[in-house]
Amino acid sequence: MKLAGILAGIPGVDGLKSGGFMLSRSVYYWNLQSPPEGLNGAVNILNDLGVEFIWYAHWVVGFPMPPDFEQAGEIARNCGLGRKSENFVEWCEREFYSLECVRKQVNAVQGKIYCPAILGYTNFRADFNFDPLTFEPIDREELENWLLDLGKWDLKNPKTKKPFTIEDTQEIFRKMGLPKERAIPDFSNSDVMRYYIRKAMALKKVGVKAVWYDTFFQLPLGIKRYLNLSFDHPAVRELYEGCLKIVKGARALGLTTGTWNLCFNFPYRKVPEVDFVTASPTSEEVLKLKLDEEKWRRVESKILSKRQKTWLLIMLDFANRDDLPLAIFSQKLTSEEQRHFLKILHDLSLRLSVNSAVAYPVHGLGTGTHPKKLAWGRYRLYDAKAPEFRTYQTIAELMNSRKIPISPVLPVASLLLALVLKLLLSNLSNRPKNYKLN
């Protein structure tokens, strides 16, 4: 299905975004209302650092954001949650999970690019869900039709030697640790594409100007690897094209759009239309305090060969696991080692030939499932100001030290322009007052 058909019925589509933007002063700051700083404290920190781009400013999980907490309960009841509706509302309140909260946060940081994350294929909720714009419940049977079924492409289950079923397909991911309440959506399904574009549209309606799509292109890459398929296989190609339309759809809404740099790992002629891609050091690089230079050169070359104007945002990957980079960074490294590694990443961003910047970890999730070091002794968050981490001052120094290269020709050109303007003004001032221009 063409993108125009997917976008049909979505208000506010105003053409593809044009022009460049800057990521040079970026931070990772999750949920500006989260403790202990709260919204006022977060705004003070962002202003103090001179932040321009707030990556992962909030998240949109496996179900959309309700408009506000009052309507959250009604939405939950309409979705059939029954007694669990109160739990849903309590979770939304605890996580500041509503479009009204996002609107409040966006308004508080005017002049900065607020970039939430739309979580990908491992976070989809099939037990209940609703439309991101109308908030109407999506029927369970319809949600079932949205799920990935590898039998759609006549792929056979290696165990049964028969075509995959939805259950077989979902079981692959269950064995990899997918929680039972979640399911894997089919990104080649036009309804699924529309759902994820509408999530971006809901954010735009409350003032958001950028969005980052997490773990989307990883799905076709994972299927390819798991079943040993080629890039020419229809399953890989069609899942890729679905992801392509999702990010293109967000950009067609006028949103600055990003995703993982893995989106450039495909050999197809159609390339994702994104403004920035993210990349993270590995856990090993963090632990050893040493970067794999060849790996970063490959990332650089990949971006240059695909989209030369795409920015690279270097961040520390995280999830609810103890073995990912931000968890290793926060739990295994001393404060001094953390500061040193941030300088290593800063230097990397200056060395690369592509436009690149570091999303410095100022505040947010990612310390793992069993963290021993808690921010301020109580929060399972990374907080650069907390005495357990103490990286804030280093982050401030690195952000302030970043210089935008200036061509040696520019000062000369500026001087010549100034002289020309001076001569013109002098000439005009010497003219008779009653002159007429022909």
Q: Encode pLDDT of 394-438 as tens digits.
A: 999 999 986 543 333 334 444 444 444 445 545 544 443 332 322
What count of other Cβ atoms lies within 10 Å of the Cβ of residue 166? Answer: 18
Whether residue 98 has pLDDT greater than 90: yes
Q: What's the pTM?
A: 0.88
pLDDT in tens, 143-178: 999 999 999 999 999 999 999 999 999 999 999 889
pLDDT in tens, 179-200: 988 999 999 999 999 999 999 9
Write the CB contacts of 367 (distance below 8 Å, at least 6 apart in sequence): 326, 327, 330, 331, 373, 374, 375, 380, 381, 382
Buried (b) or exposed (e) across 247-278, using 16+ Cβ within 10 A? bbbbbbbbbbbbbbbbbbbbeeeeebbbbbbb
Whether residue 323 has pLDDT greater than 80: yes
By C-alpha distance, which of 286, 346, 274, 337 is closest to 316? 286
Write the CB contacts of 60 (distance below 8 Å, at least 6 apart in sequence): 116, 117, 118, 119, 199, 203
Tell whether 198 is covered by a domain. yes
CB 23 within 8 A of CB 357: yes
pLDDT at 417: 46
pLDDT in tens, 106-151: 999 999 999 999 999 999 999 999 999 999 999 999 999 999 999 9
Tell whether 131 is covered by a domain. yes
Domain assignment of residue 289, given as a range? 3-407
Whether residue 255 has pLDDT greater than 80: yes
Tell whether 166 is covered by a domain. yes
- What SS3 class is residue 58? strand
Residue 10: pLDDT band with limits 50, 70, 90:
low
By C-alpha distance, which of 89, 188, 80 is closest to 139? 80
Whether residue 11 has pLDDT greater than 70: no
Residue 435 token pair: 């002159």
Tell whether 427 is covered by a domain. no
Separation between Cα atoms, residue 186 and residue 138, nearest integer Å: 16
Position with higher pLDDT, 24 vs 390: 390
pLDDT at 421: 45
Start-to-end CA distance of the chain, whole Å, equals 59
Local structure of residue 123 (DSSP, 8 states): G
Tell whether 431 is covered by a domain. no
Separation between Cα atoms, residue 300 and residue 356, nearest integer Å: 9
Whether residue 7 has pLDDT greater than 70: no
pLDDT at 3: 64
By C-alpha distance, which of 77, 96, 104 is closest to 31? 96
pLDDT at 2: 64
Residue 24: pLDDT band with limits 50, 70, 90:
confident
pLDDT at 309: 85
pLDDT in tens, 339-348: 999 999 999 9
Tell whether 67 is covered by a domain. yes
Mean pLDDT in the chain? 90
pLDDT at 406: 32
pLDDT at 242: 98
pLDDT in tens, 274-296: 999 999 999 999 999 999 999 99
Tell whether 434 is covered by a domain. no
Q: What is the CATH number of the domain that holds 62?
A: 3.20.20.80
Tell whether 73 is covered by a domain. yes
pLDDT at 180: 87
Mean of pLDDT values over 196-219 = 98
Specify the DSSP element, H or E, that contains 340: helix 335-351
Q: How far is CA 243 from CA 32, 216, 231, 318, in A?
A: 29, 6, 15, 22
Q: Count the domains in the chain.
A: 1
Position with higher pLDDT, 430 vs 306: 306
Work out the percent of the chain whose per-residue pLDDT is above 70. 87
pLDDT at 6: 62
Whether residue 13 has pLDDT greater than 60: no
pLDDT at 14: 37
